[in-house]
Amino acid sequence: MVIGKRLLPVLCLCLLFLGACGNRQEIDDVAVVLGVAIDGNEDEYQLTVELAAPKAPDDLGEGVFFVTEGTSLEQAVDELNHQLEKELFWGHLQVIMIGDPMLPRLMEICEYFHSLRQLATSSLIIAAKGNAGEMVQQGFGQADYASFGIAESVRLLQTKSLWPNLRFVMENLQKNRKVDLPYLELVKIGDDTRLAIITQDDIIKEYEDDDE
C-alpha cells in the first residue's frame, strides 16, 4: 500500500517523541501534593508537604502533613517518597511557601520545582515571615485543605500585580526584575493564632472568623 509506505517514516519519527509523555500513572496510585513549605538554613532544607486524602467522591477529606529534611531539596523529596512508598504527584500543587531565611535561595527553589515533571506552573509562591511549615499547617479560612484556603485567599487579595505563580516569578528572576511576593505571617488575635497576609510590611488582611 503506497500510503502505508509513505507513512512509515512519519510513524517512526513520531515514535521518537513518545518519551515526552513520561510514564503513565493511575490517579489512585499517586500521593497528591497540594502545598509545600520550605524552611531551613544554609546547610539544611526542611520540607513540609500537605497531601490530599480524599475519602469519597462527595467527601474530599482533610490534608495530611509530612515533614522531611535533607541537605538539598532533592534529598528531602526523595526521603518523603521513601516514607510514602508512593510517587509524589505535583500536578495540583497549589502553593509553595518559602520561609524568610530561604528567600535568598528563591531562584534555586524555583528552578527545582520547575524541573519537576507534571508540575502545575500556576502554583503560587508565597513568602512566610517565620516558619513556613507552621503556617501551611495553620491554613487560611475554612477550606477543607489548608493549601486551598491559602491559595484562594492570596488570589483574592493580591491585587497589586499578577498572581505570583511559579512561571511569573521564574521569568522575572531570570530578567533580574524585582518580584513582590505576598507575605504571610502568623498573628495573635486574642488567644488565637491566625494567619494574615501582608505585603511590604503593610497588613492588608487579617484572617477573622465570620462571627468575630
Partner 1 sequence: MPLYINNKTSVKVEDRIETDINLNIAKVHARLGTSMDVVIREFYMGNGQAVAVLFIDNLVNKEILGRDFFAPLQAVSGKEWIKPAQICKEILNIGELREFNNFTELINIVLQGWTALFVAGADSAVAVEAISWPQRGINEPGTDVVIRGPREGFIENVRANAALLRRKIHHADLRVEELSLGKYSNTAIVLIYVDTIANKQVLSEVKKRLQRIDIDAILDSGYVEQFIQDTAYSLFPTVGITEKPDIAAARIMEGRTAILVDGSPVALTVPMFFAEGLQSSEDYYNKFYYASWLRIIRVLAFLANIWLPGLFVAIVSWHPQIIPVRLFLSMAAAEKNTPFSAGLAMLLMLLAYEILKEAGVRLPKPAGQAISIVGAIIMGDAAISAGLISAPVLIALSLTVTASFVTVNLSEVSTVLRLIFLAAGWAMGLYGLLLVNLLLLFYLSSLSSFGLPYFAPFAPLNWQGLKDVVLRFPLWNLQFRPLGLSLNRRRMRVHQQEEK
Residues in touch with partner 1 (CB under 8 A): 3, 7, 11, 14, 17-18, 20-22, 24-28, 30, 32, 34, 52, 54-61, 89, 91-92, 94, 118, 120, 148
Question: Residue 61 CB, nearest distance to partner 1 (Å)?
Answer: 8
Question: Residue 167 CB, nearest distance to partner 1 (Å)?
Answer: 14
Q: Which amino acid is at 193?
A: T
Closer residue to partner 1, CB minimum distance, 70 or 91: 91
Closer residue to partner 1, CB minimum distance, 17 or 159: 17
Instruction: Indicate the helix (H) or strand (E) that contains 9.
Output: helix 2-16
Question: Residue 7 CB, nearest distance to partner 1 (Å)?
Answer: 6
Could you tell me if 81 and 110 are in contact, meaning their C-beta atoms sit under 8 angstroms apart? no
Closer residue to partner 1, CB minimum distance, 117 or 160: 117
Question: Residue 120 CB, nearest distance to partner 1 (Å)?
Answer: 6
Question: Residue 104 CB, nearest distance to partner 1 (Å)?
Answer: 30
Question: Residue 75 CB, nearest distance to partner 1 (Å)?
Answer: 25
Q: What are the residues facing 47 on neighbouring strands?
A: 38, 68
Closer residue to partner 1, CB minimum distance, 31 or 196: 31
Q: Which amino acid is at 181?
A: L
Closer residue to partner 1, CB minimum distance, 40 or 63: 63
DSSP, res 59? B
Q: Show the beta-strand stretches assigned E in the chain.
A: 30-40, 45-51, 64-70, 87-89, 95-99, 124-129, 183-189, 192-199, 202-206
Estimate the share of the chain in helix, then strand, then coil, as percent rounded to the nearest 5.
35, 30, 35
Could you tell me if 204 and 197 are in contact, meaning their C-beta atoms sit under 8 angstroms apart? yes
Q: Which amino acid is at 61?
A: G
Closer residue to partner 1, CB minimum distance, 7 or 203: 7
Spatial distance between the Cα atoms of 145 and 137, rounded to a whole number of angstroms: 9
